[in-house]
Amino acid sequence: MDKVTGKLTLSFVVGFSVVHCLAALVTVIRVVHRKKRQQLWWDDLFASIASFATLFLTGTTVAAYLMPEGGYPYAGRAFLFWIGLFLTPTVIWSGRVAVLNTIAYYLPPDAYPARLTTIWSSLGFAIAWIATLISKIFVSGLPIRAIPQPPFSKAATIFGLVLNLLGTAWLIGWPAYLLVKLSLGKSYQRLILTCFVFTTTLGAWDIWHAINTQNTSPYLFYSSHLELLFSVLVANVGWFVAVLVGLQPHKSQVEVSSDSGSR
């Protein structure tokens, strides 16, 4: 993206399109892997939603780059704006719901209360997801415009940021609590640590993107796409680590073998 004119560049569009497609490919591999083993669960659904929405947003970015000299018709511009506004939190929150359900999926049967709490917290995230979508309607305050224009509502931005930070804090704190409370093995420690790193990074992108939104920064598209990218990665990272270290769903023995615990 050109930092002076604020226009999309070919390298930006191609670069992020390729990266988003690769991230979505990870989800496809994940679903195929689970399906072959008859292990499909809710986390696969939400990871798929995050990936599909990201690919759709990538398409809108390409459409924005290919915009003709006179621009798209008014209805087309409104569609591109609102679809981006609604699908962005969809990617972010579906990714978070996915990682919570992944944690619940791998918790052993004797950790049923913790597993139930994890599932209920994912429901809370779904409510936050809906609340965020509603707040987006008032992104330019009142009256609601067909195509909102800056300055954008600080209240709506702060509301979304607070929910994002609370969600990130829970994703960091709750798995860490499970790690200490349940005295899980090394494989779970690696799973929790990886989730911690990725969710912390996602929180940093949340803050950066909120600042760029308020300042109409030339880095707005960068922060937006990085936030989307890490949301898809967060959705899949739990599954990837679980496969890597050999964790199995709903097993009373967390460490599948002594080899998996010593990797």
Nearest to 57 by CA among 95, 85, 98, 78: 85
Sorted by sequence, the CB contacts under 8 Å of residue 41 that are 6+ apart come out as 34, 101, 105, 249
d(CA 203, CA 255): 30
d(CA 55, CA 66): 17
d(CA 201, CA 58): 21
Q: Tell me the CA end-to-end span of the chain in Å, nearest whole number.
A: 42
CB 43 within 8 A of CB 105: yes
pLDDT tens by residue, the chain, 263 residues: 544 445 778 888 898 899 999 999 999 999 999 999 888 999 999 999 999 999 999 998 888 888 887 778 888 888 888 888 899 899 999 999 999 999 888 877 777 888 899 999 999 999 999 999 998 888 876 777 777 777 777 788 788 888 988 988 898 888 878 877 877 778 877 887 787 788 778 777 777 777 776 666 677 777 778 888 889 998 999 899 989 988 877 643 333 333 334 44
pLDDT of residue 195: 79
What is this structure's pTM? 0.84
**Residue range 79-96, pLDDT digits in tens:** 888 888 899 899 999 999
d(CA 83, CA 227): 16
**Residue range 205-250, pLDDT digits in tens:** 777 777 776 666 677 777 778 888 889 998 999 899 989 988 877 6
Nearest to 199 by CA among 229, 169, 176, 236: 169
d(CA 163, CA 251): 33
Domains with residue ranges and CATH for the chain: 1-253 (1.20.1070.10)
pLDDT of residue 216: 67
The secondary structure of residue 144, as a DSSP letter, is P
pLDDT of residue 133: 92
The two three-digit tokens of residue 207, written as one number? 């803050």
